[in-house]
Amino acid sequence: MKRRASEQQPDAGVDHEPDYRFTLANERTFLAWIRTALALLAGAVAVMQLVPDFGLPEGRKLLSGLLAVLSVATVAGSALRWRSAQWAMRCDAPLPSTRLPWLLAAGVILVGLIVIVLALLFGVSAGD
């Protein structure tokens, strides 16, 4: 017995419109990554404009630059992730994995370690 076209499962690799709920979920994930990137960029600006130089101006520039690079990497990675997930849903392929959370976690750990080192080596006492 042959199924009607509307009841047949699409073939893997064939482009078709996915359920709108999955498309919207993919878009929400993308927007969450964009919010994260904007927060990192705001942090980069804040570090450059508001944080004292600790007697080492290069430290402030390093932190600000690292946060800005993380922001750009997050935007690029999230756009690539959105596109590949959208393609996978359209072709009934498995969703691809991503290293973006690991990259972001490693970057934030690095920024945190630099902040700790700068605070310990060049920190300003409460009385200054």
Distance, C-alpha 61 to centroid of its chain? 21
Give the C-alpha separation, 60 to 44, whole Å.
9
pTM confidence score: 0.78
Classify residue 116 by burial, with Cβ atoms within 10 Å: 0-12, 13-18, 19+.
exposed
What pLDDT tens digit does each residue of the chain (128 aa) get?
Answer: 444 444 445 455 567 788 889 899 999 999 999 999 999 999 999 999 998 877 787 888 999 999 999 999 999 999 999 999 999 999 999 999 999 999 999 999 999 999 898 888 887 654 44
Query: To which residue do tokens 């073939």 refer?
Result: 11
Which residue type does 81 have?
R
Helix (H, G, I), strand (E, B) or coil at 97: coil
